[in-house]
Amino acid sequence: MFRGFYTVASGMIAQQRKTEMLTNNMANANTPGYKADQASMRAFPEMLLERLDSAQVPTERKLSLPFNQTVGTLNTGVYMQETVPKFLQGDIRETGRKADIALVNGNMPADEESGMPGSVFLTVEGADGPRYTRNGNLTVNGNGFLTTNSGHYVLNENGGRIQLETDDFKVGETGEILVDDTAVARLAIGFSENPNTMIKQGDGLFATDGNVPLQNAYEADGVVFSTKQGYLERSNVDASRTMTDMMTAYRAFEANQKVLQAYDRSMEKAANEIGRVN
Protein backbone atom coordinates (compact mmCIF):
# COMPACT_ATOMS: atom_id res chain seq x y z
CA MET A 1 0.00 0.00 0.00
CA PHE A 2 2.69 2.48 1.01
CA ARG A 3 4.64 1.55 -2.11
CA GLY A 4 1.66 2.75 -4.13
CA PHE A 5 1.80 6.13 -2.40
CA TYR A 6 5.44 6.55 -3.48
CA THR A 7 4.71 5.51 -7.07
CA VAL A 8 1.81 7.94 -7.43
CA ALA A 9 3.77 10.76 -5.78
CA SER A 10 6.69 10.30 -8.18
CA GLY A 11 4.28 10.56 -11.11
CA MET A 12 2.77 13.78 -9.74
CA ILE A 13 6.21 15.35 -9.18
CA ALA A 14 7.36 14.40 -12.70
CA GLN A 15 4.25 15.92 -14.31
CA GLN A 16 4.55 19.05 -12.20
CA ARG A 17 8.14 19.58 -13.36
CA LYS A 18 7.14 18.96 -16.96
CA THR A 19 4.36 21.53 -16.65
CA GLU A 20 6.83 24.07 -15.25
CA MET A 21 9.18 23.42 -18.19
CA LEU A 22 6.35 23.85 -20.73
CA THR A 23 5.19 27.02 -18.99
CA ASN A 24 8.69 28.45 -19.31
CA ASN A 25 8.66 27.58 -23.02
CA MET A 26 5.36 29.44 -23.46
CA ALA A 27 6.68 32.45 -21.56
CA ASN A 28 9.62 32.64 -24.01
CA ALA A 29 7.61 32.05 -27.17
CA ASN A 30 8.42 35.61 -28.31
CA THR A 31 12.04 35.68 -27.12
CA PRO A 32 14.40 35.94 -30.12
CA GLY A 33 16.61 32.88 -30.58
CA TYR A 34 15.05 30.98 -27.67
CA LYS A 35 15.39 27.20 -27.89
CA ALA A 36 12.50 25.22 -26.42
CA ASP A 37 13.26 22.65 -23.74
CA GLN A 38 12.23 19.01 -24.12
CA ALA A 39 11.67 16.64 -21.20
CA SER A 40 13.28 13.24 -20.91
CA MET A 41 11.02 11.01 -18.80
CA ARG A 42 12.41 7.78 -17.34
CA ALA A 43 11.01 5.01 -15.17
CA PHE A 44 12.70 3.87 -11.99
CA PRO A 45 14.08 0.31 -12.19
CA GLU A 46 11.43 -2.38 -11.93
CA MET A 47 11.51 -4.76 -8.97
CA LEU A 48 10.83 -8.47 -9.27
CA LEU A 49 8.54 -9.67 -6.49
CA GLU A 50 8.82 -13.23 -5.22
CA ARG A 51 6.96 -15.06 -2.46
CA LEU A 52 8.75 -17.42 -0.11
CA ASP A 53 6.85 -20.71 0.04
CA SER A 54 7.41 -24.33 0.91
CA ALA A 55 6.17 -27.69 -0.29
CA GLN A 56 5.57 -30.79 1.79
CA VAL A 57 7.27 -33.94 0.52
CA PRO A 58 5.30 -37.12 1.44
CA THR A 59 7.95 -38.82 3.51
CA GLU A 60 7.94 -40.35 6.95
CA ARG A 61 9.54 -37.24 8.46
CA LYS A 62 7.32 -34.79 6.49
CA LEU A 63 10.16 -33.09 4.71
CA SER A 64 9.46 -29.46 3.80
CA LEU A 65 11.31 -27.94 0.84
CA PRO A 66 11.43 -24.12 0.55
CA PHE A 67 11.10 -22.44 -2.85
CA ASN A 68 10.45 -18.99 -4.31
CA GLN A 69 7.28 -18.33 -6.25
CA THR A 70 7.41 -15.41 -8.69
CA VAL A 71 4.63 -12.88 -8.14
CA GLY A 72 5.57 -10.45 -10.92
CA THR A 73 7.28 -7.12 -11.54
CA LEU A 74 6.51 -3.84 -9.79
CA ASN A 75 7.27 -0.43 -11.26
CA THR A 76 8.29 2.14 -8.67
CA GLY A 77 7.34 5.28 -10.62
CA VAL A 78 8.77 7.78 -13.08
CA TYR A 79 10.94 10.88 -12.94
CA MET A 80 12.03 13.66 -15.28
CA GLN A 81 15.66 12.84 -15.87
CA GLU A 82 16.70 16.00 -17.71
CA THR A 83 15.64 18.80 -20.03
CA VAL A 84 17.33 19.13 -23.40
CA PRO A 85 16.99 22.21 -25.65
CA LYS A 86 15.68 21.67 -29.18
CA PHE A 87 18.14 23.35 -31.53
CA LEU A 88 15.96 23.55 -34.63
CA GLN A 89 16.20 26.98 -36.23
CA GLY A 90 13.28 29.32 -35.59
CA ASP A 91 11.56 31.43 -38.24
CA ILE A 92 13.52 34.44 -39.55
CA ARG A 93 11.58 37.70 -39.47
CA GLU A 94 12.52 41.17 -40.68
CA THR A 95 12.79 43.99 -38.11
CA GLY A 96 14.63 46.72 -40.01
CA ARG A 97 16.92 47.47 -37.00
CA LYS A 98 20.58 47.75 -37.89
CA ALA A 99 21.63 46.09 -34.63
CA ASP A 100 19.43 43.02 -35.21
CA ILE A 101 21.43 40.12 -36.66
CA ALA A 102 20.08 36.68 -37.50
CA LEU A 103 22.19 33.57 -38.01
CA VAL A 104 20.79 31.54 -40.89
CA ASN A 105 21.82 27.90 -40.95
CA GLY A 106 22.84 26.48 -44.30
CA ASN A 107 24.66 23.16 -44.30
CA MET A 108 25.26 21.88 -40.79
CA PRO A 109 27.26 18.62 -40.59
CA ALA A 110 25.62 15.96 -38.44
CA ASP A 111 27.28 14.63 -35.31
CA GLU A 112 28.53 11.06 -35.78
CA GLU A 113 27.27 9.82 -32.40
CA SER A 114 23.85 11.48 -32.14
CA GLY A 115 23.10 11.92 -35.84
CA MET A 116 21.82 15.43 -35.07
CA PRO A 117 23.01 18.44 -37.11
CA GLY A 118 25.32 20.96 -35.49
CA SER A 119 24.59 24.65 -34.97
CA VAL A 120 26.32 28.03 -35.07
CA PHE A 121 26.23 30.68 -32.33
CA LEU A 122 27.19 34.30 -31.74
CA THR A 123 30.03 34.52 -29.23
CA VAL A 124 29.71 36.93 -26.30
CA GLU A 125 31.80 37.69 -23.23
CA GLY A 126 30.95 35.84 -20.02
CA ALA A 127 32.16 36.20 -16.46
CA ASP A 128 34.46 33.17 -16.66
CA GLY A 129 34.79 32.49 -20.37
CA PRO A 130 32.96 32.82 -23.69
CA ARG A 131 29.22 32.32 -23.88
CA TYR A 132 27.12 31.57 -26.93
CA THR A 133 23.69 32.69 -28.06
CA ARG A 134 21.29 32.61 -31.00
CA ASN A 135 19.63 35.85 -29.84
CA GLY A 136 20.84 38.49 -32.28
CA ASN A 137 18.80 41.32 -30.74
CA LEU A 138 21.88 43.51 -30.16
CA THR A 139 22.47 47.15 -29.30
CA VAL A 140 25.28 49.71 -29.22
CA ASN A 141 25.82 50.94 -25.65
CA GLY A 142 26.82 54.42 -24.54
CA ASN A 143 30.54 53.65 -25.00
CA GLY A 144 30.05 52.39 -28.55
CA PHE A 145 30.40 48.68 -27.73
CA LEU A 146 28.17 46.14 -29.44
CA THR A 147 26.33 44.21 -26.72
CA THR A 148 23.33 41.98 -26.17
CA ASN A 149 20.25 43.50 -24.56
CA SER A 150 21.32 41.91 -21.28
CA GLY A 151 24.67 43.75 -21.42
CA HIS A 152 27.05 41.00 -22.58
CA TYR A 153 29.75 42.23 -24.94
CA VAL A 154 29.70 40.72 -28.42
CA LEU A 155 33.15 39.44 -29.40
CA ASN A 156 35.04 39.69 -32.63
CA GLU A 157 36.94 36.92 -34.39
CA ASN A 158 40.04 37.62 -32.27
CA GLY A 159 38.15 37.37 -28.98
CA GLY A 160 38.01 41.14 -28.32
CA ARG A 161 35.07 43.48 -27.79
CA ILE A 162 33.60 45.25 -30.80
CA GLN A 163 33.63 49.05 -30.45
CA LEU A 164 32.02 51.21 -33.12
CA GLU A 165 32.32 54.96 -33.65
CA THR A 166 28.79 55.13 -34.99
CA ASP A 167 25.58 53.15 -34.90
CA ASP A 168 25.33 53.50 -38.68
CA PHE A 169 27.04 50.27 -39.70
CA LYS A 170 26.46 47.32 -41.98
CA VAL A 171 26.86 43.60 -41.40
CA GLY A 172 27.77 41.45 -44.39
CA GLU A 173 26.53 37.91 -45.00
CA THR A 174 29.86 36.52 -43.84
CA GLY A 175 29.91 38.37 -40.51
CA GLU A 176 31.98 41.44 -41.42
CA ILE A 177 30.99 44.72 -39.75
CA LEU A 178 31.50 47.68 -42.07
CA VAL A 179 31.53 51.40 -41.32
CA ASP A 180 31.63 53.63 -44.42
CA ASP A 181 32.16 50.45 -46.47
CA THR A 182 35.34 49.66 -44.51
CA ALA A 183 35.55 46.41 -42.52
CA VAL A 184 36.27 47.23 -38.88
CA ALA A 185 35.57 43.85 -37.27
CA ARG A 186 34.14 40.40 -37.87
CA LEU A 187 31.64 38.68 -35.63
CA ALA A 188 32.96 35.65 -33.76
CA ILE A 189 30.76 32.72 -34.75
CA GLY A 190 31.24 29.38 -33.00
CA PHE A 191 30.21 26.00 -34.37
CA SER A 192 29.08 23.15 -32.11
CA GLU A 193 29.06 19.66 -33.64
CA ASN A 194 26.71 18.42 -30.93
CA PRO A 195 24.69 21.30 -29.40
CA ASN A 196 23.03 18.90 -26.93
CA THR A 197 26.28 18.88 -24.94
CA MET A 198 26.02 22.63 -24.32
CA ILE A 199 24.81 23.94 -20.96
CA LYS A 200 21.80 26.23 -21.03
CA GLN A 201 22.06 29.35 -18.88
CA GLY A 202 20.00 32.50 -18.35
CA ASP A 203 19.49 35.36 -20.83
CA GLY A 204 19.47 32.95 -23.76
CA LEU A 205 23.12 32.03 -23.24
CA PHE A 206 24.85 28.66 -23.54
CA ALA A 207 28.16 27.50 -22.12
CA THR A 208 30.37 24.58 -23.08
CA ASP A 209 31.53 21.87 -20.72
CA GLY A 210 34.69 23.19 -19.07
CA ASN A 211 34.31 26.50 -20.95
CA VAL A 212 36.20 25.04 -23.90
CA PRO A 213 35.83 27.49 -26.83
CA LEU A 214 33.78 26.33 -29.79
CA GLN A 215 35.33 25.77 -33.15
CA ASN A 216 35.58 28.82 -35.43
CA ALA A 217 32.56 28.41 -37.73
CA TYR A 218 34.34 30.18 -40.61
CA GLU A 219 37.02 27.50 -40.63
CA ALA A 220 34.88 24.43 -39.84
CA ASP A 221 34.71 21.85 -42.64
CA GLY A 222 31.38 21.70 -44.44
CA VAL A 223 29.71 24.43 -42.35
CA VAL A 224 27.63 26.86 -44.40
CA PHE A 225 25.74 29.75 -42.78
CA SER A 226 25.05 33.46 -43.29
CA THR A 227 24.39 36.54 -41.17
CA LYS A 228 21.44 38.79 -42.03
CA GLN A 229 21.29 42.35 -40.75
CA GLY A 230 17.86 43.75 -39.90
CA TYR A 231 16.45 40.28 -39.16
CA LEU A 232 15.88 38.22 -36.03
CA GLU A 233 15.49 34.50 -35.45
CA ARG A 234 12.26 33.85 -33.58
CA SER A 235 11.99 31.20 -30.87
CA ASN A 236 11.31 27.66 -32.05
CA VAL A 237 8.48 27.18 -29.53
CA ASP A 238 5.41 25.64 -31.16
CA ALA A 239 2.71 27.39 -29.12
CA SER A 240 -0.17 25.10 -30.12
CA ARG A 241 1.84 21.93 -29.50
CA THR A 242 3.07 23.29 -26.17
CA MET A 243 -0.48 24.05 -25.03
CA THR A 244 -1.54 20.51 -25.97
CA ASP A 245 1.41 19.04 -24.04
CA MET A 246 0.54 21.21 -21.03
CA MET A 247 -3.02 19.89 -21.03
CA THR A 248 -1.75 16.30 -21.32
CA ALA A 249 0.64 16.82 -18.40
CA TYR A 250 -2.16 18.37 -16.34
CA ARG A 251 -4.49 15.43 -17.05
CA ALA A 252 -1.75 12.97 -16.08
CA PHE A 253 -1.17 14.90 -12.85
CA GLU A 254 -4.92 14.87 -12.18
CA ALA A 255 -5.14 11.10 -12.81
CA ASN A 256 -2.32 10.46 -10.33
CA GLN A 257 -4.09 12.70 -7.85
CA LYS A 258 -7.26 10.59 -8.13
CA VAL A 259 -5.28 7.42 -7.45
CA LEU A 260 -3.64 9.07 -4.45
CA GLN A 261 -7.06 9.99 -3.06
CA ALA A 262 -8.25 6.40 -3.53
CA TYR A 263 -5.21 5.11 -1.61
CA ASP A 264 -5.92 7.64 1.12
CA ARG A 265 -9.53 6.48 1.48
CA SER A 266 -8.38 2.85 1.64
CA MET A 267 -5.89 3.64 4.39
CA GLU A 268 -8.54 5.58 6.30
CA LYS A 269 -10.94 2.64 6.10
CA ALA A 270 -8.22 0.20 7.19
CA ALA A 271 -7.35 2.35 10.19
CA ASN A 272 -10.88 3.27 11.32
CA GLU A 273 -13.16 0.41 10.32
CA ILE A 274 -11.38 -2.89 9.75
CA GLY A 275 -9.81 -3.02 13.20
CA ARG A 276 -12.91 -1.78 15.04
CA VAL A 277 -14.34 -4.19 17.64
CA ASN A 278 -18.12 -3.99 18.02
Residue 176 lies in a domain: yes
Q: Note whether 39 and 156 are same-domain residues.
A: no
Q: Note whether 105 and 202 are same-domain residues.
A: yes
Q: Note whether 92 and 227 are same-domain residues.
A: yes
Q: Note whether 213 and 95 are same-domain residues.
A: yes
Closest-CA residue to 188 (of 128, 107, 100, 124): 124
- Across 97-107, average pLDDT: 92
> Are residues 109 and 223 in contact, defined by beta-carbon separation less than 8 angstroms?
yes
> Are residues 75 and 10 in contact, defined by beta-carbon separation less than 8 angstroms?
no
Pairwise pLDDT comparison (229 vs 269), residue with the higher score: 229
Residue 141 lies in a domain: yes
Q: Note whether 92 and 228 are same-domain residues.
A: yes
**Residue 196: how many CA atoms within 13 Å on its side-chain side?**
14
Mean pLDDT computed over every residue of the chain: 87
Residue 238 lies in a domain: no
Under 8 Å CB-to-CB from 102, ≥6 apart: which residues? 92, 136, 227, 228, 231, 232, 233
Q: Note whether 65 and 100 are same-domain residues.
A: no
Q: Note whether 78 and 92 are same-domain residues.
A: no
* Domain that includes residue 15, residue range: 2-82+246-265
Q: Note whether 93 and 218 are same-domain residues.
A: yes
What pLDDT is stored for residue 135 in this prediction? 93
pLDDT bracket for residue 44 (50, 70, 90) = confident
Q: Note whether 103 and 65 are same-domain residues.
A: no
pLDDT score of 278 more than 60: no
Q: How far apart are CA 145 and CA 147, in angstroms?
A: 6
Number of domains present in the structure of the chain: 2
Please report how the helices 239-269 and 2-27 are oriented relative to each other, as an axis angle in degrees rounded to 10. 160
Q: Note whether 67 and 102 are same-domain residues.
A: no
Tally Cβ neighbours within 10 Å of residue 218. 16
Q: Is 131 exposed, middle or buried (0-12, 13-18, 19+ CB in 10 A)?
A: buried
Closest-CA residue to 35 (of 227, 260, 204, 268): 204
